Structure 1
């Protein structure tokens, strides 16, 4: 009789574990949906961040090109100082250099 009672108690524990696992199993589809939505949101956020990075890199390249062009223009103007004959031409060249810088 004690053996049967012990077996019934053990069966009851196993049954409770089964019910707990079944309840947990029922929650899994909802949890998977939540995770899938989070993954989608993260993927969209990543795509937006990549697009923003690409745009920022493009703007930087454009600014670098503009800067290099300006530096070359200033250098070219500075090399023209040897061609100047009058003070008026020199003042005009200085003004041009100042504007370019």
Structure 2
């Protein structure tokens, strides 16, 4: 997978991550990078999305992450661990610096 394809995949994931903060995404990303197991990481996010100990905004964010990953699951399953780490890193980067934000906003 080329870098351009990885970025496009990250953008697809990002489209479903409205109101998801980087900290919430990074819980998934870091867990995946440690365990190197996509299905196990998905289970964690699903569990967090139903956790009564989290605030409603957080559980909603985890639901959005889960749905976004489920939507692209077939494509993501075709990638190796290194490519997935890179894709998830691009998502994290895109969450932090959305196009049209702050000083990058076109006039």
TM value normalised by structure 1: 0.24
Rg (Cα) greater in structure:
1
TM value normalised by structure 2: 0.22
Higher relative contact order, structure no. (Cα contacts within 8 Å, ≥ 6 residues apart) = 2
